[in-house]
Amino acid sequence: MYPKLIADRKAWHTQRLGIVGTLALTPISGRSAVDLHKQKEQVGAAAVDYVERLYPDRLKLGIGTGSTAECFIRGLARLKSRIEVTVASSARSEALLKELGIPVVDLNHVESLDVYVDGADEINDNLEMIKGGGAALTREKIVAAASERFVCIADETKLVRTLGAYPVPVEVIPMARSLVARALADLNAQPVWREGITTDNGNWILDVHGLSVDCPETLEKRIELIPGVVCCGIFAHNAANLALLAAGDKVRRLERTDSPN
């Protein structure tokens, strides 16, 4: 069962990214990986405009992880002189921030952040998400929780009616991997160990297929109560306040109605 599910996960990514072999240029549903990258740049730039307008003086930003977040980071370089501080959600994002000369500090050195900007693997119209495709979910949830607002940036294919077609990443303490996997199997799901991947926190990832994510907040809490689970990749408690979604050559805004301004 496990090898089949691992193959399914690869197929899922392959289909989403339009990757064939080492080339990422084959059109999928009329769209190439080049178009997809342009869309990521487009929402990255829209998020830079958004933080510039909302916080015209000094910026205190939480920074996400992944290819879309990296487009945001590159766009952010033009506001460098106005950035008071950033906190990164991964070593990978931290390295890019430093390379661009953007100040980045440890979360323990800041009291709060204005806004957290990050991508998602799936998002619903309530702005609840599945995250963790890049194995950074725990730090992402922490930095999001330290921020007043969460802006999700993604292309519109990530918008779904019900979360769960994308396997839910769960970060686990290594010694508890099998224990957690059995508890997840009891939820009628199929956990698959993302072998070879160790998180920035020294932990492992289980990708959980087949979960019914009808009530994201309840399921998030339930999974996070399993001993050995560090973090569940469902972001319902820390849902986004605003989503900027690339659709064709436009950026669509989706806002939570209970959001502060």
Q: How far apart are CA 261 and CA 257, in angstroms?
A: 9
Query: By the 8 A CB rule, do 108 and 53 touch?
Result: no
Q: How far apart are CA 131 and CA 122, in angstroms?
A: 7
Out of 48, 117, 121, 183, which residue is the one contacting ligand 5RP (CB under 6 A)? 121
Query: By the 8 A CB rule, do 22 and 76 touch?
Result: no
Out of 33, 115, 136, 151, which residue is the one contacting ligand 5RP (CB under 6 A)? 136
To ligand 5RP, the closest distance from the beta carbon of 81 in angstroms equals 27
Query: Is the Cβ of residue 118 or residue 220 nearer to ligand 5RP in the bound state?
Result: 118
Separation of first and last alpha carbons in the chain: 48
Q: How far apart are CA 152 and CA 117, in angstroms?
A: 6
Out of 134, 164, 191, 216, which residue is the one contacting ligand 5RP (CB under 6 A)? 134
Q: How far apart are CA 205 and CA 40, in angstroms?
A: 25
Query: Is the Cβ of residue 82 or residue 237 nearer to ligand 5RP in the bound state?
Result: 237
Query: Is the Cβ of residue 36 or residue 184 nearer to ligand 5RP in the bound state?
Result: 36
Q: How far apart are CA 241 and CA 227, in angstroms?
A: 30
Query: By the 8 A CB rule, do 59 and 113 touch?
Result: no
Q: 73 by DSSP, 3-state: which?
A: helix
- The alpha helices in the chain, defined as continuous H runs, are 2-17, 33-54, 67-76, 91-99, 137-145, 177-185, 216-224
Out of 132, 164, 167, 216, which residue is the one contacting ligand 5RP (CB under 6 A)? 132
C-alpha closest to that of 177 among 159, 164, 188, 192:
192
Q: Based on the shown chain and the rule CB under 6 A, indicate whether residue 133 belongs to the binding site for ligand 5RP.
A: yes
Query: Is 220 known to be catalytic?
Result: no
Query: Is the Cβ of residue 32 or residue 67 nearer to ligand 5RP in the bound state?
Result: 67
- Per-residue binding letters, 50-69, with ligand 5RP (x by CB under 6 A): --------------xxxxxx
Segment lying near ligand 5RP (by CB under 6 A), choices 50-58, 129-137, 180-188, 238-246: 129-137
Query: Is the Cβ of residue 41 or residue 114 nearer to ligand 5RP in the bound state?
Result: 41
- Binding to ligand 5RP, residues 151-210 (CB under 6 A): none
Catalytic site residue from 70, 94, 140, 171:
140
Q: How far apart are CA 131 and CA 114, in angstroms?
A: 21
To ligand 5RP, the closest distance from the beta carbon of 70 in angstroms equals 8
Out of 5, 127, 137, 231, which residue is the one contacting ligand 5RP (CB under 6 A)? 137
To ligand 5RP, the closest distance from the beta carbon of 240 in angstroms equals 11
**Total residues binding ligand 5RP (CB under 6 A):** 18
Query: By the 8 A CB rule, do 17 and 27 touch?
Result: no
Residues forming contacts to ligand 5RP in the complex (CB under 6 A) are 64-69, 118-121, 131-137, 140
Active site residues: 140
